[in-house]
Amino acid sequence: MTSEIMSEETPLLSDLLPNVKHELVYQRFSPGYKKFIVGVVSWCGLMPLFISGTFYPSIPEIAKDLNTTGQNVSLAVSLSVFATSIGALAAASYSTFYGRRPVYLIALPLSIIGSIGVAAAPNMPQLLFWRFWQCSGASPGMAVGAGVIGDIYRLEERGTAMGFFLAGILLGPALAPPIGGLAAQYASWRFMQLCLGIFGLIAFAIMFFTFPETSHPGARGIDALRQSGRSERSWLPVLINPLQPLNLLRSPNVFSVSVAGFFLLLTDYVLLVPLAYTIGKRYHIDNSALIGACFLPCGLGNMVGAPIAGRISDKIIVHWKQKRGGVWYPEDRLRATLLGALTFVPLSVLGCGLVTHYIEGPIGLVLNLILLFFNGFGVDLVLSPSAAYTVDVLHSRSAEAMACNSGFRSFLLTFAIAGIMPMINTYGIVATNTLSAALAWIGCMMLALTIRYGDKMRAWVDVGYSNADNN
């Protein structure tokens, strides 16, 4: 009788075993330790945005110090975006093979050295050289950080965790410009770069002493080599193509979400990169500290939007999964992007152009600051669910998927940013902002089409999509 019971129950237990293992992998760390991990990776994710954000209000001072023009110095912004995209792609590839922790410990010293080099740069060529290393060393923050979130949080919790991760990162756009402006006005832009080096050193120390390896057991490339018997060494040097994650752009879903994110994020740069020469000039603000303060509403909007969007996207996933009788449809998460993509982002950038051109005085300045807040809020209503979606659909390659998304987006921004100030100088702020708003609406359409036809798009090209059982 016992053997009959065993024979009846054993298949059921074996069927349940993979699900049990899948749940246990997310219970390796306590809830409190998970929050600590999110805080640590948010600190590192904050670095590239802080490096960029402290630079914008310093552009006039840097141009004066290096005897060049603001338009030339703005090339350093394009270079920093390019360096961040290349660095993120390489970091994601190596984090898939070696794990998350080694990538952070190798990349952060590059950013520290780069920050010191930027602070000491006597001319534009050296500034650009060291700026590249400063930004590429800080680049794992977003892509590898998102991979860490995917490692430690279940599907139904991931959007909320991603929202808090992005909210922590987006302290950069909120705090960096005012701090950079204060440093440029009352100390030196070079002093700010040294502070960034110290900031990176603290991040390295925290990572070295407290950060665990979060990759799922046996999921790293080096683990696969050991299991196959091809290597027994704890460290195996390999050369990985840093552009490897871009292969994921073969997926229509990843490509569509990445391009849509580019169109919507571009509005941020259209507003912020030339701010000292648009809002600053129009409203007679020539104090670097006050110019830096004008960036604050956009950053605050980012901070508010990210956690709200993440939580909403989790609730949408749960609601639609129940509505479909337990069937998970990944593109449901993107429904949380539509409000921001349709209204807040395009209308805010369009409104800023019109207000700056037509409305003078304190009223015009206040309206611009309000619109900057709504732009930051709207952009993160889009980017937070998009990041969680990217991790959802390619969970086993989450860092690479995130690097593909953000790296490709940053690569496009490299060229777009270089054209912002020349376009404003040639065609004016209204034409430039109107074009940016139109592109944002195109991005909204791409997201809507991905939601509607996501399953068919995934069927066109299979790049190893995740399913409900391994997510």
> Taking residues 451-469, what's their average pLDDT?
88
Which pLDDT belongs to residue 2? Answer: 39
Residue 413 belongs to some domain of the structure: yes
Q: What is the predicted pLDDT for the residue at 230?
A: 58
**Mean pLDDT (whole number) for 399-407:** 81
Measure Cα distances from 406 to 222, 403, 413 in Å: 25, 5, 10
Residue 223 lies in a domain: no
Quick check: is 239 in a domain? no
CB contact at 8 A, 469 and 19: yes
Mean pLDDT of 228-241: 64
Q: What is the pTM of this model?
A: 0.74
227 belongs to a structural domain: no
Binned at pLDDT 50, 70 and 90, residue 14 comes out as: very low
Q: Is residue 306 part of a domain?
A: yes
Whether the per-residue pLDDT at 193 is higher than 60: the answer is yes
pLDDT of 260 strictly over 90 = yes
Measured in whole angstroms, how far is the alpha carbon of residue 317 from the centre of its chain? 22
Select from 458, 262, 235 the least CA-distant residue to 345: 262
Q: Whose CA is closest to 385, among 144, 168, 142, 163?
A: 163
Identify which of 11-25, 147-161, 327-341, 386-400 has the greatest average pLDDT: 327-341
Domain coverage including residue 162? 30-214+245-470
DSSP H helices in 140-278: 140-152, 155-169, 171-186, 189-210, 221-227, 252-272
Number of domains in the chain: 1
Per-residue pLDDT at 339: 95
Domain-embedded: residue 308:
yes
- Rounded Cα distance between 114 and 111, Å, is 5
The whole-angstrom separation of Cα 160 and Cα 383 is 13
- For residue 401, give the CATH number of its domain: 1.20.1250.20
Most confident option among 11-15, 56-60, 207-211, 392-396: 207-211
**Reported confidence tier of residue 229, pLDDT bands at 50, 70, 90:** low
Q: Which amino acid is at 323?
A: K
User: Residue 17: what pLDDT?
Assistant: 46
What Cα–Cα distance (Å) separates residue 404 from each residue in 139, 162, 299, 407, 415? 13, 17, 24, 5, 17
Q: Give residue 21's pLDDT.
A: 57
- Please check the confidence at residue 438 and state whether its pLDDT lies above 90: yes
Residue 224 lies in a domain: no
**6 lies in some domain:** no
Rounded CA-CA distance 62/272 in Å is 17
